[in-house]
A and B are shown apart, each in its own frame.
Chain A
Amino acid sequence: MGEALRDAWTIARKDLRLEFRSRTAILSALVFTVLVLLVLNFGRDPTAVAARDLAPGILWVTFTFAAMLALNRAFQLELENQALDGLLLAPVSATSLYWGKLIANLAFVAVVEAVGLPVFVLLFNVPVAHALLPLLGVIALATVGFVAVGTLFSAMVIRTRFAELMLPVLLLPFLIPPLIGAVQATARLLAARPVSEVSGVLRLLAAYDIVFVLLATLLFPHTVRE
């Protein structure tokens, strides 16, 4: 187990270093996040619907599609010089490869969310200070779930044509449960409802994470080999 985690960390470090060097995907995702929030903020009619009612959905749509950019890039960078074959040749378990990609994707999405959340608060003028910790908990749990599933699907589609189009088509149906939960929980927290009202959703998100991280870990070896 120790060796598997060390290998996963080696792969994650390499992915993050590559992203730090090229900065292509992270900059695209950040610009995308800010632009979507800007467009949706200025495109709405504030007299028709209150910002607080729209904001949870907007936040999660933005985070989901920004995360798609990270997930698309996760295995694309292994196609350069067929590095993926190198990884499959190495004495590294598929579990380590999956976990390495998962860690790197989580870090990537976390950066996007860390920038996106303050921009969201600023633009939509929604109070979060009173519920910041539970809101961060919701974001963390939902993110782990959809990145876990997304990393698996990203590996599945990478050798197909139109991988960038295939990923959202395959992935979005699986994201419906955590997204509905995350939107509901965010709405309640922004409406200053007690945290106990979202504890059920938090448990649901945690259960989704556990089930899909385990399932993806088990299925991943069957997706990457020829």
Chain B
Amino acid sequence: MLLRAEGLRHAFGPIRALDDISFTLAAGRTLAVFGPNGAGKTTLLRVLAGLIRPQAGSARVEGGPRAIGWIGHQSHLYGHLTVRENLAFWAELYHVPPAGRRSRVTEVLERVGLADRADQPVRVLSRGLTQRAAIGRAIVHDPRVLLLDEPFTGLDLAAAAQFRHLLAELGASGRAAVLATHNVEEGAELASDLAFQVRGRFVWSGPRSGTTAEIAAAYRRAVAGG
């Protein structure tokens, strides 16, 4: 298993963000976690990434921090550096070998459609282009597990389609991903496994089956009854 979470619990004061969450994720699988705002999806991803130590339970990613790629609400990019410099910095920090670092950065820039913007400072990019650069940052070290928190935010239709294609490619090459979103339509088609998270709990989880409309209906019922 590339990712294993067991009995995760975490609360912020009286608010339970994670309530006994357990799951495993094998190579090539994508778990989509759907939940309304405040359900604890971001907390789950932050615990899986090691940014928050859970109050109970444990989470383990095979390969440790080096194996994780993160795309969240914030880009983690430096506005005064160019896109290329940002990617090169993160590649170096993730110990991408110096010999192949430059070509890896160029390859990722092309993959996220930013080759022609590579030498522009991030601060002049639009929200959508910044999100593409953030995707580049997340994959520049070729992670085995992707943690994606509302990754489609700010992407236009073409960029969202390109990103879905990229995620499908990564899944096919044996990467695992956990995708947290409140939008069933954008997440369901990528997922091999689904979980509905309400008030910190997985009220339902299992392999994906049915159409996107059926999944959306099941999700609405789960939220209403959760």
| A positions within 8 Å CB-CB of B | 3, 7, 10-11, 14, 17-18, 21-22, 77, 80-83, 85-92, 225-226
Minimum Cβ distance to chain B for residue A13 (Å): 8
Residue pair A18, B80 in contact (C-beta under 8 Å):
yes
Minimum Cβ distance to chain B for residue A115 (Å): 22
Minimum Cβ distance to chain A for residue B62 (Å): 14
Q: A191 vs B50: C-alpha distance in the bound complex, in angstroms?
A: 56
Selected from B52, B73, B78, B95, the residue in CB contact (under 8 A) with A91 is B95
Residue pair A81, B85 in contact (C-beta under 8 Å):
no
Which A residue's beta carbon lies closest to that of B89? A14
Residue pair A7, B74 in contact (C-beta under 8 Å):
no
- For B78, the chain A residues whose CB sits under 8 A away are 14, 18, 77, 80-81, 83
Q: A7 vs B77: C-alpha distance in the bound complex, in angstroms?
A: 17
Minimum Cβ distance to chain A for residue B1 (Å): 20
Residue pair A90, B93 in contact (C-beta under 8 Å):
yes
Residue pair B64, A89 in contact (C-beta under 8 Å):
no
Task: For the complex of A and B, list the 7 residue pairs with the smallest distance between their C-beta atoms, beginning with the closest.
Answer: A86-B76, A82-B74, A21-B80, A91-B66, A91-B65, A81-B75, A90-B93
Is B28 interfacial (CB 8 A cutoff)? Answer: no
Minimum Cβ distance to chain A for residue B59 (Å): 14
Which A residue's beta carbon lies closest to that of B82? A21
Residue pair A86, B90 in contact (C-beta under 8 Å):
yes
Q: Interface range on chain B: under 10, 10 to 19, 20 to 34, or 35 or more?
A: 20 to 34
Residue pair A83, B77 in contact (C-beta under 8 Å):
yes
Q: Is the interface of A mostly helix, strand, loop or mixed?
A: helix
Is B157 interfacial (CB 8 A cutoff)? Answer: no
- For A3, the chain B residues whose CB sits under 8 A away are 95
Selected from A21, A77, A83, the residue in CB contact (under 8 A) with B76 is A83
From 44 to 102 in chain B, residues with beta carbon under 8 angstroms from any chain A beta carbon are 46, 49-53, 64-66, 68, 70, 72-81, 85, 89-90, 92-95
Residue pair A18, B50 in contact (C-beta under 8 Å):
no
Residue pair A21, B81 in contact (C-beta under 8 Å):
yes
Q: A115 vs B64: C-alpha distance in the bound complex, in angstroms?
A: 45
Is B132 interfacial (CB 8 A cutoff)? Answer: no
From 128 to 187 in chain B, residues with beta carbon under 8 angstroms from any chain A beta carbon are 137
- For A89, the chain B residues whose CB sits under 8 A away are 49-51, 65, 68, 70, 76
Which B residue's beta carbon lies closest to that of A15? B78
A-B residue pairs in contact (CB < 8 Å), sample of 29: A10-B93, A14-B78, A14-B81, A18-B80, A22-B80, A80-B79, A81-B74, A82-B73, A82-B74, A85-B51, A85-B70, A85-B72, A85-B74, A85-B76, A86-B90, A87-B93, A88-B50, A88-B51, A89-B50, A89-B51, A89-B65, A89-B68, A89-B70, A90-B65, A91-B93, A225-B51, A226-B46, A226-B51, A226-B53
